[in-house]
Structure 1
Amino acid sequence: MTIQLAGTEVPYSVTYLEMTEKPAWDWPHLPVSAQVSLLHAEAPPVWFFLSLYDAVGRDYAWEDIHKREHTDIREWLAADNMSMFVLYGRGWPQGFFLLEDQGEGVVDLSYFGMVPEAVGRGLGKWLLRTAILTAWGRPGTTRMTVNTCTLDHPRALQTYQKSGFTPVRREDHIRTLTRDRDLSRIPS
């Protein structure tokens, strides 16, 4: 087991991507035998969002949201320009995505991910393509954005590009971890 301890400085790169046209593909089909439901979480409570944020992002050093006050997060989640969708299967959340209208026709895929126990079952591609078409289904959408970093799933950037996003800029950063990070849990 390889652990990066809280307090460790970790270099990483953020890649910003965009999509300027709605994809030509149709709504994706669920993998055979998948028994799941995608539900719109309307004005989700902060604890619920944070539980999904941590379940999906803990291994990838998703820590930034914890710096915000809960009242700020609550208002952000309840805003008219926000939409959170949760994928359920077997009675528990399998993954989620959050879309944020940025104005002027731009919709950002602010958060997207699968919980570790749901990875590798073909649901991630389905959920991403559903998120993309949901964003493009909003009236006036002219561009979609997303970002990922080298701390995320090793195939995140490639997955976004295969789904039609194009990198537009890259930035290098250093983060000081606030929690231990178990690198053995990250897929290769």
Structure 2
Amino acid sequence: MHAYKAGETIEYRVTWLEMTERPRFGWPSLPLGRDAMLLRADTPPWWYFLALYDAVGRDYAWTDKHEMPRDEMTAWVQDPDVALYTLMGRGWPQGFFMLDWREAGICDLAYFGLVPEAVGTGMGSWLLKTAILTGWERETTRKMTVNTCTLDHPRALIQYQRMGFQPVRTEVHSRVLTRDQVFLQPLL
């Protein structure tokens, strides 16, 4: 575990991954004993996206989108080529994913994650497989992309690779933390 204070500048590694063909796995079944549903948001307001973004990303220093102007964020989340799906279980959001088809032939898994209370329940693999297959459902999809970094959950990179994504490049980035953070893995 590595603890950092708000105001510190940290360096971390970003990995971009691609999948160039639809995976061979089929649509997953919900894990036994889990009752959940997946809802696609129809023209979601910016604040709904930010609520999910914060709920999932608060432990991983997801803060970048707070700098985006609200009108730009609204245009992005309501774009017909962007889809926001919420995993609902026990009456509250347990995670979400966002797919972005704005670049011709590419579906970017722009955001994916579970809230801390849902991590370890078996829903992550189900949600990730569902996100990937949903991305490939569009006939125009020729490639799926995703990126993750060492600020994210320590199993994020390996999970994407297990599902068929291949790393294509890495870069070291830096940022100033806006709040105290504890990361579960080395950042470089």
Query: Which TM-score tier does this pair reach, normalised by the shorter chain?
Result: over 0.9
Q: What one-letter code is carried by the residue in structure 1 that aligns with 2:81?
A: N
Q: What one-letter code is carried by the residue in structure 1 that aligns with 2:112?
A: F
Deviations 1:50-74 (A, max 9, x none): 1110110111111110111111111
Structure 1 residue 2: Cα displacement: 6.6
Q: What one-letter code is carried by the residue in structure 2 that aligns with 1:158?
A: I
**Which residue does 1:93 correspond to in 2?**
93
**Which residue does 2:31 correspond to in 1?**
31
Q: Map of 1:35-114 to 2, 5 A cutoff?
A: 35-114=35-114
**Which residue does 2:150 correspond to in 1?**
150
Return 2-11 or 163-172, whichever deviates more.
2-11
Determine if contact 2:150/2:185 at 8 Å carries over to the other structure: no
Matches of 2:127 and 2:75, distance apart in 1? 25
Matches of 2:20 and 2:3, distance apart in 1? 39
Q: How many residues align?
A: 186
Matches of 2:182 and 2:22, distance apart in 1? 37
TM-score by length of 2: 0.95
Kindly tell me: are residues 12 and 132 of structure 1, through their superposed partners in 2, closer, same or farther at Cα, counting changes over 3 Å? same
1:161 aligns with 2:161: yes
Percent identical residues? 55
**Which residue does 1:12 correspond to in 2?**
12
Matches of 1:182 and 1:165, distance apart in 2? 27
Q: What one-letter code is carried by the residue in structure 2 that aligns with 1:76?
A: W
Question: Residue 160 of structure 2 aligns to a residue in which SS?
Answer: helix
Moved over 6 A (4+): none
Structure 1 residue 103: Cα displacement: 2.4
User: Which stretches in structure 1 are left out of the alignment for 5+ residues?
Assistant: none
TM-score by length of 1: 0.95
Question: Residue 151 of structure 1 aligns to a residue in which SS?
Answer: coil
Determine if contact 2:14/2:149 at 8 Å carries over to the other structure: yes
Question: Residue 102 of structure 1 aligns to a residue in which SS?
Answer: coil
User: Which stretches in structure 2 are left out of the alignment for 5+ residues?
Assistant: none
Matches of 1:103 and 1:37, distance apart in 2? 28
Q: What one-letter code is carried by the residue in structure 2 that aligns with 1:55?
A: A
Deviations 1:70-115 (A, max 9, x none): 1111111011110000000000000000000032210000000000
